[in-house]
Amino acid sequence: MTASTMTEKLELFRTNAAGEKEVSGADIRSARKRLGLSIAKAAQNMDVGYQTLWRWENDKAQPLSDKIPDLLELIQRANRKR
């Protein structure tokens, strides 16, 4: 991923009150659905549990920093499908 692509994708992430990057569950769900992936398959692709991805999509939790590259890849792949 190039620096400009990374910057583009990071625009999907907002900064919360603590200064941390976060993304909305709707953005995650939209990317997954554009790829035609079930929650189970997308979770497997990102090496997280079904419940973890479900929580992200429903704004019950935010991805940890080590999962952000996987999430960016999911969003990037989905954007190519448009």
Per-residue pLDDT of 39-70, as tens digits, reads: 999 999 888 999 999 999 999 998 887 887 88
| Amino acid of residue 12 | L
Which pTM was predicted? 0.71
Both tokens of 17, joined, read 């009150």
In this structure, what DSSP letter does residue 61 have?
A: -
* Residue-wise pLDDT tens digits, 9-24: 445 667 778 877 678 8
Q: How confident is the model at residue 7 (pLDDT cuts 50, 70, 90)?
A: very low
Q: How confident is the model at residue 82 (pLDDT cuts 50, 70, 90)?
A: low
> What fold is seen in the domain 3-81?
434 Repressor (Amino-terminal Domain) (1.10.260)
In this prediction, residue 39 carries a pLDDT of 95
What is the C-alpha separation between 40 and 17, in angstroms, rounded? 31
List strand residue ranges (DSSP E) for the chain, in order.
Answer: 14-15, 21-22
> Cα-atom radius of gyration of the chain, to the nearest Å?
12
